[in-house]
Amino acid sequence: MRYLTVMHTGKRFSPLEFARWTFHDTYWLLLIAAVPTVLYVLGARFLTVPWQPVAIVGTAVAFIVGFKNNASYGRMWEARQIYGGIINDSRSFGYTLRDALGKQLSAQTQTMFYRHFA
């Protein structure tokens, strides 16, 4: 059972939790990174890469991630607005139901509102 999913309900992650969740991935990345490092130390100089292409690719990745993050935030904000509209309309319906039917039909009012809520 390598990937045991546990829902985190707190507001912050402790360093121990983070290390426990990422241990397997971190281990494999270190192992993969160690191979070219050891080969370079042993004399395989063909593994060298100039810094300019790395900088250009890093800048491009930063732009892409920035734009994706902005788009994701926009979608999340739109969803919050739609959800807020649904909540406001539901409250208005409840108030209208209560005011229109009055206290003499409170059981029917409650039933109708619960059905709407469901």
Q: Assess whether 65 and 99 both reside in one domain.
A: yes
Query: What would the pLDDT profile of 31-69 be if each residue is shown by its tens digit?
Result: 999 999 999 999 988 888 899 999 999 999 999 998 888
Query: pTM of the predicted model, to two decimals?
Result: 0.47
Q: Assess whether 55 and 112 both reside in one domain.
A: yes
* Band of pLDDT at residue 1, cut at 50, 70 and 90: very low
Q: Assess whether 24 and 82 both reside in one domain.
A: no
What b/e string do you get for 19-52 counting C-beta neighbours within 10 Å, with b at 16 or more? eebeeeeeeeeeeeeeeeeeeeeeeeeeeeeeee
Q: SS3 letters for 67-81?
A: HHHHHHHHHHHHHHH
Q: Assess whether 43 and 53 both reside in one domain.
A: no
Whether 109 and 97 have beta carbons less than 8 Å apart is answered as yes
pLDDT score recorded for residue 62: 93
Q: Assess whether 8 and 64 both reside in one domain.
A: no
Q: Assess whether 81 and 35 both reside in one domain.
A: no
Q: Assess whether 81 and 118 both reside in one domain.
A: yes
Which amino acid appears at position 33 of this protein? Answer: A
Q: Assess whether 39 and 55 both reside in one domain.
A: no
Number of independent structural domains in the chain: 2
Range of the domain at 40: 1-48
Q: Assess whether 98 and 108 both reside in one domain.
A: yes
Phi-psi region of 61 (alpha: psi -120 to 50; beta: other; left: phi over 0): alpha
